[in-house]
A and B are shown apart, each in its own frame.
Chain A
């Protein structure tokens, strides 16, 4: 099958072109928990079945970070290149175009964001550009789909220019200057509302309060959506399911199978949080407790991403992140990680050096609670009072900063500064947002639910064979002495190795006081990410660094837990 690779600078609507070309036939999402960070799809173009690959954006073919390395890698597999070019920024984009030409593969140019270029007073003579480059050129507006049909029809015209000299970098820039002067007319325009908004949101004194407001309203929205979905959709659904589950329980009768599938019957009824059966807690935790917030979170995140606000937030927060050994880009793993640590860990590859990636990944696993962790914290401590919930989140935030300051000093290596293009604000497309949110939710369902099932299964089996009690007996003296929590809570901490959210059900019946619960929850959140995140960390950092990272997490958890015990329990 013919392979078509989409290449271009970052942030120019490549992925939108990709989803236009592949349509409903996209087989993987933007955040696969798999090997590399590209999307692959199939399509039938002009009666020919082709594979289309969306490579990560890059400014040149000399990669400066791992995401760009992936892009260069993709190029080797290409039978045909669609070079997506930002029509509003022709001059800069042409450098990659000239480099791509030297690969001598059939190529076609898509001048994307044609409408935006027209609006901002940029006129490009397509015919002249075609002649200069000796390539077919198509103008597209990927967001509305305009020009995509023409792009497909012209694919067979893709070619390598007849006479092509290898140019040095300097010669390329001279060429580019000349070409853009010949084909492009730029007329001056007055700054509009978007420009003024852009300035206000990136200047320190106006931007900071706006950023705080945006973050606050994001979380408020996530909570609103999550709670709304729980109250009006998921709770009623699970109440409908309850009689069926009870019937199954009665039909199974007491025994191993009952314990495994339904779990404990508490006060004559199934308790979805504490029963710990595969068909009760195993379904309820991911669907009834975590999914509603995931929906809200990914909706909000997609809006922030597509509007263009995130790079501004990265700029404003650069000062903080730079002191923690990273730079403003680290806001992306942080934000994604609040949804689920796995895509968060994957996105660390946008950072340039090993030091930065190590710090970002360690802080992520340590102190960035994913939706499941957050749901756990709310679920466990909510009944004790919102103040205790706040206490745990405040502790996590402090650990993030403190551990970052220490790691910045302790980890050897370079920590380059921020270098980030700020895209203009764009109105997010309603359907694009929905599609993106849906893709991420689907990914969560496919990844998280099997893990949770396995977690419940493993926990139940380990209980049955007495392994849990055995481990608890070994470790509980230490934990009782150091953290002042009862031995049974240690089991919950252990279960947290597999699924943090499952540990909830195990902490609740222990009758801990508020202080103990705060300590247990904080330690549970800190000491280790879930198994899925661990697997990604191994892939991204390598085994050695992952083990180091895990050691940092474990030590920090015990130190912070001990300190909190002193403060809260005495």
Chain B
């Protein structure tokens, strides 16, 4: 099942399954930052009050606005 990465708790990880969202330029930007289908994404920190998410991909941390993060779908692991 696919869930958005925003539903993960800080400290957990999952595999990216799809990128939603408008247009190829938005997705290109995600991909050029290393967020692509098949990679493992770990949530490092979730900032309160709908603040940004900090995720880790391939050993690199990236800060994402909540709305952007909602468009990153991951495979639910349990």
Contact between B25 and A318 (Cβ–Cβ < 8 Å)? no
A379-424 residues with Cβ-Cβ distance < 8 A to B are 416-422
Contact between A419 and B68 (Cβ–Cβ < 8 Å)? yes
Q: Tell me, yes or no, whether A89 is within 8 Å of chain B by CB.
A: yes
Interface of A is mostly: helix
Contact between B52 and A173 (Cβ–Cβ < 8 Å)? no
From residue A20, how far is it (CB to closest CB) to chain B in Å? 25
* Assembled-state Cα–Cα distance A557/B47 (Å): 34
Beyond A89-B58, A120-B59, A319-B51, is A421–B33 a contact (Cβ under 8 Å)?
yes
Q: Tell me, yes or no, whether A328 is within 8 Å of chain B by CB.
A: yes
Proximity string of chain A (305-321) to chain B, C-beta cutoff 8 Å, 1 when within and 0 when not: 00000010011101100
Contact between B64 and A419 (Cβ–Cβ < 8 Å)? yes
Contact between B64 and A417 (Cβ–Cβ < 8 Å)? yes
Q: Which of A88, A203, A207, A311 has the most CB of B within 10 A?
A: A203
| Nearest opposing residue in chain A for B50, CB measure | A319
Q: Tell me, yes or no, whether A464 is within 8 Å of chain B by CB.
A: no
From residue A546, how far is it (CB to closest CB) to chain B in Å? 28
Q: Which of B24, B52, B65 has the most CB of A within 10 A?
A: B52
B28-78 residues with Cβ-Cβ distance < 8 A to A are 28-29, 31-34, 36, 44-49, 51-52, 54, 58-68
Instruction: Give chain A residues whose Cβ lies under 8 Å from the Cβ of B58.
Output: 89, 91-92
Stretch at the interface among A57-65, A135-143, A342-350, A562-570: A57-65
* Assembled-state Cα–Cα distance A327/B66 (Å): 12
Beyond A120-B59, A169-B24, A421-B62, is A315–B68 a contact (Cβ under 8 Å)?
no
Contact between A422 and B54 (Cβ–Cβ < 8 Å)? yes
Beyond A203-B10, A315-B63, is A419–B33 a contact (Cβ under 8 Å)?
yes
Instruction: Give the number of residues in A that approach B within 8 Å (Cβ atoms).
Output: 35
Instruction: Give chain A residues whose Cβ lies under 8 Å from the Cβ of B59.
Output: 88-89, 120
Q: Which of B10, B24, B44, B47 has the most CB of A within 10 A?
A: B47
Contact between A173 and B67 (Cβ–Cβ < 8 Å)? no
Instruction: Give the number of residues in B that approach A within 8 Å (Cβ atoms).
Output: 30
Contact between A173 and B64 (Cβ–Cβ < 8 Å)? no
Contact between B25 and A64 (Cβ–Cβ < 8 Å)? yes
Contact between B29 and A59 (Cβ–Cβ < 8 Å)? yes
From residue B2, how far is it (CB to closest CB) to chain A in Å? 20
- Which of B32, B46, B49, B64 is within 8 Å of A59, CB to CB? B32
Give the total number of A-B pairs whose CB atoms are below 8 A apart. 101
Proximity string of chain A (54-95) to chain B, C-beta cutoff 8 Å, 1 when within and 0 when not: 000001101010000000000000000000000011011001
- Which of B24, B32, B52 is within 8 Å of A315, CB to CB? B52
Contact between B31 and A418 (Cβ–Cβ < 8 Å)? no
Instruction: Give chain A residues whose Cβ lies under 8 Å from the Cβ of B52.
Output: 315, 318-319, 328, 417-418
* Assembled-state Cα–Cα distance A242/B37 (Å): 71
Instruction: Give chain A residues whose Cβ lies under 8 Å from the Cβ of B46.
Output: 204
* Assembled-state Cα–Cα distance A92/B35 (Å): 9
Instruction: Give chain A residues whose Cβ lies under 8 Å from the Cβ of B61.
Output: 198, 202, 421-422
Q: Tell me, yes or no, whether A199 is within 8 Å of chain B by CB.
A: yes
Contact between B64 and A62 (Cβ–Cβ < 8 Å)? no
Instruction: Give chain B residues whose Cβ lies under 8 Å from the Cβ of A354.
Output: none
A200-225 residues with Cβ-Cβ distance < 8 A to B are 202-204, 207
* Assembled-state Cα–Cα distance A420/B64 (Å): 7
Contact between B63 and A418 (Cβ–Cβ < 8 Å)? yes
* Assembled-state Cα–Cα distance A92/B45 (Å): 22
From residue B55, how far is it (CB to closest CB) to chain A in Å? 10
Q: Tell me, yes or no, whether A42 is within 8 Å of chain B by CB.
A: no
Proximity string of chain A (106-127) to chain B, C-beta cutoff 8 Å, 1 when within and 0 when not: 0000000000000010000000
Contact between A418 and B64 (Cβ–Cβ < 8 Å)? yes
Contact between B63 and A92 (Cβ–Cβ < 8 Å)? no
Contact between B65 and A318 (Cβ–Cβ < 8 Å)? yes
Instruction: Give chain B residues whose Cβ lies under 8 Å from the Cβ of A327.
Output: 65
Contact between B60 and A421 (Cβ–Cβ < 8 Å)? yes
- Which of B28, B32, B49 is within 8 Å of A92, CB to CB? B32
Q: Tell me, yes or no, whether A264 is within 8 Å of chain B by CB.
A: no
Q: Tell me, yes or no, whether A355 is within 8 Å of chain B by CB.
A: no
Instruction: Give chain B residues whose Cβ lies under 8 Å from the Cβ of A169.
Output: 24, 28, 31
- Which of A88, A199, A314 is within 8 Å of B63, CB to CB? A314
**Smallest CB-CB A-B distances: 6 pairs:** A417-B65, A422-B61, A59-B32, A319-B51, A315-B63, A203-B45
B residues with a Cβ closer than 8 A to A are 10, 24-25, 28-29, 31-34, 36, 44-49, 51-52, 54, 58-68
Query: Can you give 17 contacting A-B residue pairs, CB < 8 Å?
Result: A59-B32, A60-B29, A89-B34, A92-B32, A92-B33, A92-B60, A173-B36, A202-B61, A202-B63, A203-B45, A204-B48, A207-B45, A319-B48, A418-B64, A422-B61, A422-B62, A422-B63
